[in-house]
């Protein structure tokens, strides 16, 4: 009996997600760094939302990945198989399977269905709805194909965007990793005024030099304001 009470006490003291420091909680990490920065277990924990007595959602997610030999195994599991796992209700099963199916459908999207960037307004249409209302400066990189189709949009920096903080290697890393021939850099001005600063111009100039060295074209640097945007390429700012 003593041993059983001790085991129960140990379980009760397992940390819950809300007891973790904010920078270690999956949702907060997603908001801060983007979904691509999270582990498979953290992504599943967000879908599960809650754990069970003695296990946080993150612990349940880690158990599922271990039990089914990774993400592919979880995606292939049936309701019966997952239903036998502690903490997996039919509602949570539906959340998981819906997310997995979305992922499968995205991988089968034809290249012809990808957005094409023909002018700066197309870039703004992709990101302004979110970026125009951010309270901090965010810098993102739009990766493009040889036909200017959007391959992905990568979050690179959060915070003050200037030449002393932004490293060209970090900006171009996603393009090099995914073999993208061209990029467009986008960042927002929380003040709402998209007028490029001298720092923005100098950063653009530096990125242009780096892009030429890496054989990746910097097609534009778009600054997002509250209700408007500025194409630095159109204004000839930082582009030689």
CB atoms within 10 A of CB 220: 21
Domains and CATH numbers, the chain: 2-107 (no CATH), 113-231 (3.40.140.10)
Query: pTM for the whole thing?
Result: 0.58
pLDDT digit string, tens, across residues 121-140: 999 998 888 888 888 899 99
Beta pairing class for 182-188 and 217-224: parallel
> Of 63-67, 71-75, 172-176, 235-239, which gets the smallest average pLDDT?
71-75
Across residues 208-226, what is the average pLDDT?
Answer: 95
Expressed in angstroms, the distance from the first to the final Cα of the chain is 78
Q: Which helix (H) or strand (E) holds 98?
A: helix 90-107
> pLDDT band at residue 9, thresholds of 50, 70 and 90?
very low
pLDDT digit string, tens, across residues 71-99: 888 888 778 888 888 878 888 888 888 88
d(CA 148, CA 57): 40
């Amino acid at each position: 009996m003593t041993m059983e009470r001790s085991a129960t006490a140990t379980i009760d003291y397992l940390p819950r997600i809300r007891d973790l420091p904010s920078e270690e909680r999956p949702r907060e990490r997603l908001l801060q760094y983007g979904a691509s920065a999270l582990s498979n277990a953290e992504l599943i924990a967000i879908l599960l939302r809650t754990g069970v007595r003695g296990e946080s959602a993150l612990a349940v997610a880690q158990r599922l990945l271990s039990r089914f030999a990774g993400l592919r195994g979880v995606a292939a599991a049936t309701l019966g198989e997952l239903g036998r796992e502690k903490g997996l209700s039919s509602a949570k099963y539906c959340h998981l399977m819906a997310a997995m199916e979305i992922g499968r459908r995205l991988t089968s999207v034809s290249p012809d269905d990808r957005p094409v960037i023909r002018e700066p307004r197309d870039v703004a249409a992709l990101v302004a709805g979110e970026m125009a209302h951010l309270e901090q400066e965010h810098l993102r990189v739009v990766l493009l194909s040889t036909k200017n189709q959007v391959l992905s949009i990568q979050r690179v920096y959060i915070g003050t965007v200037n030449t002393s903080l932004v490293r060209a290697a970090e900006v171009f890393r996603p393009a090099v990793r995914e073999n993208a021939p061209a990029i467009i850099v986008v960042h927002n001005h929380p003040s709402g005024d998209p007028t490029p600063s001298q720092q923005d111009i100098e950063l653009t100039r530096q990125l242009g030099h780096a892009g030429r060295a890496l054989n990746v074209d910097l097609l534009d640097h778009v600054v997002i304001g509250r209700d408007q945007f500025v194409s630095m390429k159109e204004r000839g700012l930082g582009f030689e």
